[in-house]
Amino acid sequence: AQRVTQPEKLLSVFKGAPVELKCNYSYSGSPELFWYVQYSRQRLQLLLRHISRESIKGFTADLNKGETSFHLKKPFAQEEDSAMYYCALNAGGTSYGKLTFGQGTILTVHP
Amino acid sequence: DGGITQSPKYLFRKEGQNVTLSCEQNLNHDAMYWYRQDPGQGLRLIYYSQIVNDFQKGDIAEGYSVSREKKESFPLTVTSAQKNPTAFYLCASSAPGTNKAYEQYFGPGTRLTVT
């Protein structure tokens, strides 16, 4: 069975500081990894996926299969980045589309 | 702000009563999902359906039931057998088999309080 672990429930940084939200996964196959974000009073939405290797709102995430990690990084945090962030894994196959989510990390960016 | 809707936003029930949460989508998505969101536990999958008239249990299906009679609708019933029903419930949909199969679209959620 697959599992996603986000070790930090809360993360606080100051505006302009670098931020890294950790995500580790366990899965025997070749997973697809995603980051979802939930801003205050907004719906949970997709932030980025590892396959696209794109930068969204300044965030990037690299899949490290050796360390089974998919950490989310931003070099200079902004106050509007404050939100709940979830790492998610898609095991594929007949479960394609079904996601396993981590516990979530609440990021607070202080002015 | 259409796409996927959930109603009501807040729901209060007495212990021992069954309650049904509504989820409707107009995205023409085949797959729909129900999650429960608890502080510190993230999102946990209750049930999911990949096609009309078919659904599978997720990780925490005990005490819940669903139906999928129409593509647009995936109601969730929280039964009296669910030991800790007070939670925030999220519905989502996706389009498996497409190039956007990986992206789930979420509703605004229903907060259920059982006393």
Average pLDDT over residues B86-91: 96
**pLDDT (0 to 100) of residue A105:** 96
CB A101 within 8 A of CB A44: no
Contact A46 B94 (CB under 8 A): no
- Which residue in the set A43, A46, A86 is minimally distant from B103, CB to CB? A46
B44 to A101: CB separation less than 8 angstroms, yes or no: yes
| Residue B1 reports pLDDT greater than 60 | no
Note whether A98 contacts B103, CB cutoff 8 Å: no
Residues A98 and A34: beta-carbon distance below 8 Å: no
**Which residues of chain A make contact with B110, given a CB cutoff of 8 A?**
none
Q: Which token pair is B27?
A: 């995205």
In whole angstroms, give the CA distance from residue A34 to residue A14: 25
Testing the interface with A: which of B102, B106, B110 to mutate, by most A Cβ within 10 A?
B102
Size of interface A-B (CB pairs under 8 A): 48
pLDDT at residue number A95: 58
> Cβ separation of B31 and A97 shorter than 8 Å?
yes
What is the band of B6 on the pLDDT scale with cuts at 50, 70, 90?
A: very high
Query: Is some CB atom of chain B closer than 8 A to the CB atom of A43?
Result: yes
* Cα A8 from chain centre: 12
Work out the minimum CA distance from B45 to partner chain A, whole angstroms. 8
pLDDT, position B98: 72
How much of chain B is in helix, strand and coil states, percent to nearest 5? 0, 50, 50
For residue A80, which phi and psi values (nearest 5 degrees)? -70, -5
Residues of chain A numbered 53-92 and touching chain B (CB < 8 Å)? 86, 90
Q: CB A86 to CB B48 under 8 A? A: no
pLDDT at position A91, please?
Answer: 76
Q: What is the mean pLDDT of chain B?
A: 91
Kindly indicate the confidence band of residue B40, based on its pLDDT and cuts at 50, 70 and 90: confident
Task: List pLDDT tens digits, range B95-114.
Answer: 877 767 778 999 999 999 99
Q: What are the pLDDT tens digits along chain A (111 aa)?
A: 789 999 999 999 999 999 999 999 998 888 889 999 999 989 999 999 877 777 889 999 988 989 999 999 999 999 999 999 999 998 766 556 788 999 999 999 999
Closest partner residue to B42 (CB to CB) among A49, A98, A103 is A103
Tell me, what's the pLDDT at A30? 80
Percentage of the residues of chain B whose pLDDT score is greater than 70: 97
Q: Which residues of A55-91 are buried (b: 16+ CB within 10 A; e: fewer)?
A: eeeebbbebeeeebbbbbebeebeeebbbbbbbbbbb
Distance from CA of A7 to the nearest CA of B (A): 10
Who wins on pLDDT, B75 or A29? Answer: B75
- Residue A49's pLDDT is what? 86
> Residue A60: what pLDDT?
93
Q: Which residue do the tokens 């956007």 mark?
A: B100
- Which residue from B minimizes the CA distance to A92? B102
